[in-house]
Amino acid sequence: MEATIDLLELPGGRLRHLWSLREDVVVESDALTGALVLTWDQGTARMASPEPTVLEVLRRMQLGPVLLGNALVDDGEGGRDRDAKVYFMMRPVFGRFPHLLVRTLGLDGLSGPLLSIAPLADAGRVSRLDTGGVFPADAGRPPLADGGQASLAVVPLDQARPIRLFLGASFAFDPLTATFESCTASHRLIIHRQEAMMVFALALARPVTPKAITAVLPLPADVTEGILCYFTAAGVAAQLWA
């Protein structure tokens, strides 16, 4: 399993890796059977007798972006690994419904998130999957989805390898956000703040290493690196092989 930056984030760090469900997803409990029912525009799925934490996480994700650790039903252990504990509890669920997941990157002290990545459709390619760390040697394009048995992961980048935005991207702007889609990606990138747009503008100009981008921007290194990781997770960019 390839490490995700969610789990590598140092205690006390300012980045916040948030999870939510698509806006069309409804989470309900079956009063007769106790099953969890997820309904969205293109379908319905049931989960028999989910763990209390799983139920609470999905209930909160329906309302908006959440820190996974905040939804842990008290197990009496406490500790600082709540996010990791809930992530591993939720991983089978996320693997079953990757097309319903929205990832959001936030930063303490800011009014609103930096960016989000959201699925374009129920089917298609899912980029940078948490599939046990197995990637093709010529991974210049997002791999095909593996039957829905993988969850969208935001993985660390090699600081010395150039990152490149895929060609064929489309752009849409409104007063609050900028949205980018690529014909090679299954997810759209939604930029909410100028800090993320600054990183995107540099990555758009030409292939450049994360280290070089970090060196020229007036942002903390972990913020720039986190933003770039979400670009590749969305599938609108990829790192080039030497």
Go through the domains of the chain in sequence order and give each one's CATH number. Answer: 5-105 (3.90.930), 110-239 (no CATH)
Contact 45, 122 (CB under 8 A): no
The answer to whether the CB of 211 falls within 8 A of the CB of 232 is no
**What pLDDT is recorded for position 7?**
59
Average pLDDT, the chain: 81
pLDDT in tens, 112-145: 899 999 998 654 434 343 322 222 222 333 333 3
d(CA 134, CA 145): 13
Identify the pLDDT of residue 145. 35
Specify the DSSP element, H or E, that contains 165. strand 163-165
Q: Tell me how crowded residue 61 is: count the other CB atoms within 10 A of its CB.
A: 23
Confidence of residue 211 (pLDDT cuts 50, 70, 90): very high
Has residue 235 got a pLDDT over 80? yes
Cβ atoms of residues 54 and 91 within 8 Å: no
DSSP single-letter state for residue 177 = -
Q: What is the pLDDT of residue 226?
A: 93
Confidence grade of residue 179 (pLDDT, cut at 50, 70, 90): very high
The C-alpha angle with vertex 116 and arms to 115 and 118, in degrees rounded to 5, equals: 155
Tokens read off for 86: 């809930």
3-state DSSP call for residue 168? coil
